[in-house]
Structure 1
């Protein structure tokens, strides 16, 4: 099994947190979003992951090394591929062409999920979906009487389906997908100036490839600050039985309300921490009350009451703020 993860976007909806790192490396319960995604995919696959192609922009060597390490952590070979222009989803996936062979999963890096099914690799293709109350906000998959996907509708204003497409796809024949993507490029088939994966999928479906839905139990978004904080809360619930506080953490006169993640060499002093808080390594929190928040690495928090907040790396924050979105390398005193 190969995985292709397009992640070359600028992550503008997550500014200021994406000014110094790409969005997929923002931590969720102590691990980068993209690592959580890879681990969740590995859980539903019957076969091992052979290759993971990360399609990125010019993110620098440090980011590339971290991505290769994430691939290695699930026993896979990592491959760094580049999309230098934002020319659409099909263009991004085709940037990982060397990994488009055999069984392939395409997964967008801001989509996390919980699923109980095992991936049926004998199917031609699977599009992962979740039922939603308001389909008008999503792209949805229509089904025929056989339970196969018969079409797609983007943000339907009248009800056609409540199966929202979450952004994860399985293809039994990666070479066939590659051929269809290349056809779009060669024939300049664009929508609003971009090459779209949905056009390739529709071509495949018309040629007899059967697409079936793979319904997940929960779809977790990391598209903006509030959604990411909520996803961190959910993941901490999922992994609350694991060891989430590193042995090197110093807890001084503090109360920890689980589930909470605290990273290596963090110091928590005179503080009530939790529930649903993630604290990165080498971060210090003193004289504070913090709940339902993400605080990243090498940060100092003093005398604050935080809730529903994200605080970046290398921040020094002394404040009474209650709902914040603070990027990297800031120093704030209120």
Structure 2
């Protein structure tokens, strides 16, 4: 029997993803027509013997109650949301809910960060984990990065023959290795005594110093720095190198990139989710929700996702974009490299355009670069254009490389600005 744990963070996280997270939790943001973590759940549900999926985070439980219910019905697997009383770090939540994870004595459990996107080769990862001759406490899914990109991740050095991780550093200050941690793991249950040692040492230090922050401080444990780094070189931690597509979901630009690749995966895994017809004109790959109303004279694609109850008017052109639920795009408008928020409206003959800032699409590894938000002139650096929820764009205006917060009614064209 197997289990899976998905770490989804909390409302205090995901600041780089704003304003898209102001009206919906980041884990539920739709990519290629599905909430981000539904892609995780879908990958877990097809693993033979996986009986339970636990979501751990500090969001209010009410925000995930309906989602969890829907997922259980759809995938016929037990799914539970476990709410942290406070942010506990990437390992603190595991230790706090250790009894729920260990219940039923699973052979192992997967751990997945909720902000990573991939086709998640979980079967291969578990098989790799089982095949380690002396047993493994943890197996990390790893990918290649460039030297510069690697500094933003956990970097590891591995033995070429045994795949053992001999050295691990989280976000090093200087170059270590181009092999980086993808945030997807297989753990043996024996990892809990290791985390427990850290927890008890932290408690003792607090008691000795008579610090008033008590166990809240002791419970905050970071998996990468406090568990993985010491495990390197002990013969208990291994890495499985993948060449599959993988990326993080940190910014709006990364959502456009992930959307493109999930749509591409649908070609082989879920072709029924892709739209193909002569009217409207579809340039693959495109996902259109069945409840959306799209005029027959519009041209959609490539790499577009259109949400529920969206209305697309005559002559509209959309490419490399995500249009969220309830949005209205009026006739002859153009949407490129943009995200249109829920219930937003784009007027007639308007142009909403961003600047693509993708990494090299030929690389297996993909990391969205994060340059300074503003340039030296105080203007927003070129990036995709994002409209928050319930934004109104007037007819015959242009929005270029801009971000508009929710519930704004624009009156003019804007370029390289954030509209508060």
Q: Please tell me the TM-score bracket, short chain as reference.
A: 0.7 to 0.9
Query: Do 1:113 and 1:220's aligned partners in 2 also have CA atoms closer than 8 Å?
Result: yes
Q: Distance in 1 between matches of 2:6 and 2:319?
A: 32
Distance of aligned partners of 1:84 and 1:311 in 2 relative to their CA distance in 1, 3 Å threshold: farther
Tell me what 2:49 maps to: 48
Tell me what 2:18 maps to: 15
Relative to structure 2, which stretch is displaced further, 259-268 or 117-126?
A: 117-126
Distance of aligned partners of 1:210 and 1:15 in 2 relative to their CA distance in 1, 3 Å threshold: closer
Shift of 1:12: 1.3
Tell me what 2:115 maps to: 110
Aligned pairs for 1:34-183 within 5 A: 34-42=37-45, 45=47, 47-97=48-98, 98-100=100-102, 101-102=105-106, 103-114=108-119, 118-119=124-125, 120=127, 121-122=129-130, 123=132, 124=136, 125-134=138-147, 135-144=150-159, 146-171=162-187, 173-174=188-189, 176-183=190-197
Which of 199, 203, 222 is the matching residue for 1:185? Answer: 199
CA RMSD, aligned part only? 2.6
Name the SS for the 1:240 alignment partner.
Answer: helix
Shift of 1:42: 4.7
Does the alignment pair 1:219 with 2:246? yes
Shift of 1:60: 4.7
Q: Distance in 2 between matches of 1:204 and 1:158?
A: 21
Larger Rg computed on CA atoms: 2
Shift of 1:206: 6.6
Count of aligned positions: 325
Shift of 1:232: 0.3
Query: Do 1:130 and 1:218's aligned partners in 2 also have CA atoms closer than 8 Å?
Result: no
Flag as ranges the 4+ runs of structure 1 deviating above 6 A. Answer: none
Tell me what 1:306 maps to: 335
Q: Distance in 2 between matches of 1:246 and 1:219?
A: 24
Distance of aligned partners of 1:142 and 1:71 in 2 relative to their CA distance in 1, 3 Å threshold: farther
Query: Do 2:275 and 2:282's aligned partners in 1 also have CA atoms closer than 8 Å?
Result: no
Does the alignment pair 1:258 with 2:297? no
Name the SS for the 2:294 alignment partner.
Answer: strand
Q: Distance in 1 between matches of 2:113 and 2:156?
A: 17
Name the SS for the 1:239 alignment partner.
Answer: helix
For residues 117-140 of structure 1, the C-alpha deviation after alignment (integer angstroms, 9 at most, x for no partner) is: 723151422101101122223211
Q: Distance in 2 between matches of 1:170 and 1:87?
A: 20
Distance of aligned partners of 1:219 and 1:161 in 2 relative to their CA distance in 1, 3 Å threshold: same
Specify every segment of 5 or more residues in structure 1 that has no aligned partner in the other structure, as ranges.
none
Aligned pairs for 1:19-34 within 5 A: 19-34=22-37
Tell me what 2:310 maps to: 283
Q: Distance in 1 between matches of 2:96 and 2:83?
A: 6
Q: Distance in 2 between matches of 1:260 and 1:149?
A: 40
Distance of aligned partners of 1:71 and 1:141 in 2 relative to their CA distance in 1, 3 Å threshold: farther
Q: Distance in 2 between matches of 1:245 and 1:213?
A: 31
Higher relative contact order (CA 8 A, sep 6+): 1
Shift of 1:161: 1.8
Tell me what 1:320 maps to: 351
Shift of 1:24: 1.3
Q: Distance in 2 between matches of 1:7 and 1:181?
A: 20
Q: Distance in 2 between matches of 1:239 and 1:305?
A: 26
Shift of 1:4: 0.9
Name the SS for the 1:170 alignment partner.
Answer: strand
Shift of 1:168: 0.7
TM-score if structure 2 supplies the norm length? 0.70
Name the SS for the 2:68 alignment partner.
Answer: helix
